[in-house]
Structure formats: structure tokens, C-alpha cells
Structure 1
Amino acid sequence: MLAKLEGHEKAVSGIALPLRSDKLLSGSRDGTVRLWDCNTGQCASVINLGAGVGSLICEGPWVFTGMPNVVKAWNIESLAEFSLDGPVGEVYSMVVANEMLFAGAQDGNILVWKGSPNTQNPFQLATSLRGHTRPVTCLAVWELDTLEPVMTLNDHTNAPMSLLCWDQFLLSCSLDHTIKVWFATGGGNVEAAYTHKEDHGVLALAGLNDPDGKPVLIGACNDNTVHLYELPS
């Protein structure tokens, strides 16, 4: 461990490193976004938003902060700020793909904004993806041509907390103490090819290649541990 950045008073709900920036951003349930100097590890600035942050991501110079009933967009280069209205309740997850911003909300809807040449607000609400009946906790993007539901995967018995698209596979983890590996069958269906059982709920997934190029899966569990798995073993 190289450093421990201390300052938030409640759970950290998102971290991001914007393009061409030496500042790490973190959002928290304490209602603040903090900017950290990557060279010194010191807090350079605190932005008080007045409401808890449910998620935070960046895309290029843009920082998106999910808050109750709104997504705040901030350009760190031009300092332009915009409010994207539409979500109902907390915004727990966001992802950017194909020049669209997707935000998963507490009411089960996924709102989609597209880039717009409108100088007053460069984000225009395009559609709302409906189907979930409870909060959308994580998002990953595969196919975006139609923005229509393709299928529903029901094997988890508790809330899925994180998704990871890796090569030809989808990996998911859940509070049901499992990590599942999904793949597309010849008939066009997606099936769980493998289920790994953990002693505790799994909260987040990430992947990387080790120095020899071998893939490694990283899972964070709610027993205060992080586990590393060699793939495909």
C-alpha cells in the first residue's frame, strides 16, 4: 500500500481520475467530492454538494456525479456545470458508451443521455430503459444498437453488485456469496458457465493482466478482504 487518503466522513461511493489531470476525485455519502493531489496524496479541494453521492465516474474531461434525483456533470477543463434531471431516487451506477451516459436509479429505471450540440446543455435525455423493479446497482455495456432488453439472467439469489465484461464473457458478483461467469451459447442464449462460491458477499469486481500477461480477477468482499483469482482456473 502506497498511501491512505483520509478525509471523508462517510462511505466513499466513487473514485475517478479524469483525462490529463493529476487530481484524483472521490465522491462520498457525506455529500462532498474531494480532489486529491496524485503527487502528494494531500486533499487539494473539497466540493460540498449538499446531498450524498451515490456514484461518480469520469469520461475524458467530464466528471459525472450521481445524487438523489439528479446527475451533476462537470467539465474540469472548461469548468462548465450542468444538472441532468430525470432520475427518481438515488443514482447507484453510471457508465459511458457510444457517446451516451447511462445512469441506473433507485426506482429501477436506467436513464440515457446523448451528446448534443446545444451549448446551453450538451446532454439531452434520449430514453429510459425500463424492466428492473428494484434499484439498478451496476451497469456494463455490450450492444447498443436498439437500446431494447435482450434477455434477463436470473441465476443470482441476491442483489448483483458488480459486472465485468471480459473477452467473450460476462462476470457478475452478488451478495449471494457467488461470482458467476456467463457466456453466449450457440443458440444465442447466455448461460452461467461457472459459479465460484465465497464465504461472504462479493461487492465489486475488476480485472487486469499480471506482468506475464496472465489474466487476474480481483474481488472485494464484505468481510474486509480483497481476493485475487487466476483465470481461467
Structure 2
Amino acid sequence: MWRMNRSRQCFDEVAAFRDHEKAVASLAQGKGTLYSGSADGSIRAWDLESRRCVCTLAAHAAAATALLCWEQFLLSSSDDGTVKVWRAKPDRDDLDLEVHYVHEEGERVVAVDGAYDPNRRPVLMVSRGDGVVRVYDLPSLQNRGQIRCNGEARAVSLRSPGVVITGDASGESEW
């Protein structure tokens, strides 16, 4: 964790979160919690105030490639070809998560992002290793369309309504 030092115009290390056995492959932050996805497929939840690991999820059979905190859900994707939707267990605290839904992509998932479309309907973007970004309605995960990229889209950003930006293996960013 780094914090901007305004007087020196640089970042100072504030804390290190150590507990994964393999490389950290993805990060997401939500409601005072940092989620870290590992190359071993696990996801850890860290309390940002105490800087302690408060939960470990045996999430995927391969690297957890992307994490997305969205409202009361945590979405995770993996090289194992799945997108999992996690939510808090009923009558439990927010960090006791269980799998709510598993979506099988059939091929490794590189990146995910989500936002609301211009009609305020939630949309999930899923980038697979085949160079195609799939667009799904949420929560049904029904296919809504696709975007073909110049190779594997390793980054997807959906921040402005109606605008999708992809960064692919060709070295280009497109929107």
C-alpha cells in the first residue's frame, strides 16, 4: 500500500500485505476491503484499516486473473475459464463470502469489467484468450454482443456510458 507524499512528490510505502504463496495477479477494492487474487487461484480479503487478512477463498483452479467489486458482489475470473459471482452469506458479515453463481466461459478469462449502460442496466464485459470481449446482461449473464480485438484483450475499461476501451496483445488501445 502506497500513499502520496505531497512534499516530496513521490509515493511512500505504508504497508505490505503478505500471505499469498504465489504472485498476486489481480486486485479490487470495495467497502474498506482489499481483495487480492493469486496465481494459485486463491482470493484473500484484507481489512484496509487493520491491514490484516480476514478471509481466504479457495476460489479457482488456476490464476485469479481479474477481480471486480460491484455493489454487494465480488466477481472473479480465472485462467480456469470461469467467472464467479460471490456474495456475503445470509446473516453473516460482509467478508464471509460464498459463490452465488458460476459462469463457464470454456476458455481462460483474461479480464472483466462492468458498468451501467445508458439505460442504467448493468453490463459485464468478459475478455477471453481468443481476442473476443463478450458483453453480458447482469444478473442473467445472457449474451448481449461481442467486440473483436486484434489479439487477446488483456485490459477492458467500461467507465463512460456507451464507451468501451480495450488494450490488446497488438499493443493498441481501441475505443
Identify the match of residue 97 of structure 1 among 57, 66, 70: 70
1:150 aligns with 2:143: yes
Larger RCO: Structure 1 or Structure 2 (Cα < 8 Å, ≥ 6 residues apart)?
A: 2
- Aligned AA for 1:174? D
Report 1:108-187 matches (<5 A): 108-116=81-89, 117-119=91-93, 122-134=96-108, 136-142=109-115, 143=122, 145-153=138-146, 155-165=148-158, 166-181=160-175
* Deviation at residue 86 of structure 1 after TM alignment: 2.5
The CA distance in 2 between the partners of 1:180 and 1:127, in whole Å, is 31
The CA distance in 2 between the partners of 1:138 and 1:100, in whole Å, is 17
| Partner secondary structure for residue 46 of structure 2 | strand
* Deviation at residue 139 of structure 1 after TM alignment: 1.0
1:107 aligns with 2:80: yes
CA RMSD of aligned residues (A): 2.4
- Aligned AA for 2:71? N
Spell out, residue by residue over 1:181-222, the C-alpha distance to the aligned partner (whole angstroms, 9 max, x if none): 3xxxxxxxxxxxxxxxxxxxxxxxxxxxxxxxxxxxxxxxxx
Identify the match of residue 83 of structure 1 among 22, 43, 56: 56
8 Å CA contact 1:129–1:147 kept in 2: the answer is no
8 Å CA contact 2:54–2:95 kept in 1: the answer is no
1:48 aligns with 2:18: yes
Which is greater in Rg?
Answer: 1
The CA distance in 2 between the partners of 1:179 and 1:121, in whole Å, is 35
The CA distance in 1 between the partners of 2:14 and 2:95, in whole Å, is 28
Q: Hey, what does 2:130 align to over in structure 1? A: none
Structure with the higher strand share, 1 or 2: 2
* Deviation at residue 177 of structure 1 after TM alignment: 3.8
How many corresponding residue pairs?
Answer: 146
8 Å CA contact 2:45–2:95 kept in 1: the answer is no
Q: Which portions of structure 1, spanning 4 or more consecutive aligned residues, are displaced by more than 6 angstroms?
A: none
The CA distance in 2 between the partners of 1:45 and 1:180, in whole Å, is 35
* Deviation at residue 114 of structure 1 after TM alignment: 0.9
TM-score, normalised relative to structure 1:
0.55
Report 1:175-214 matches (<5 A): 175-181=169-175
* Deviation at residue 126 of structure 1 after TM alignment: 0.5
* Deviation at residue 100 of structure 1 after TM alignment: 0.6
Q: Hey, what does 2:44 align to over in structure 1? A: 72
8 Å CA contact 2:154–2:169 kept in 1: the answer is yes
Q: Hey, what does 1:38 align to over in structure 2? A: 4
Q: Hey, what does 1:60 align to over in structure 2? A: 31
Name the CA shift for 1:121/1:178 in 2 (closer, same or farther; >3 Å).
Answer: closer
Name the CA shift for 1:107/1:127 in 2 (closer, same or farther; >3 Å).
Answer: same
8 Å CA contact 1:103–1:111 kept in 2: the answer is yes
Spell out, residue by residue over 1:1-48, the C-alpha distance to the aligned partner (whole angstroms, 9 max, x if none): xxxxxxxxxxxxxxxxxxxxxxxx2xxxxxxxxxx3433733233333
Name the CA shift for 1:80/1:86 in 2 (closer, same or farther; >3 Å).
Answer: closer
Percent identical among aligned pairs is 12
- Aligned AA for 2:97? F
User: Runs of 5+ in structure 1 lacking a partner?
Assistant: 1-24, 26-35, 182-233
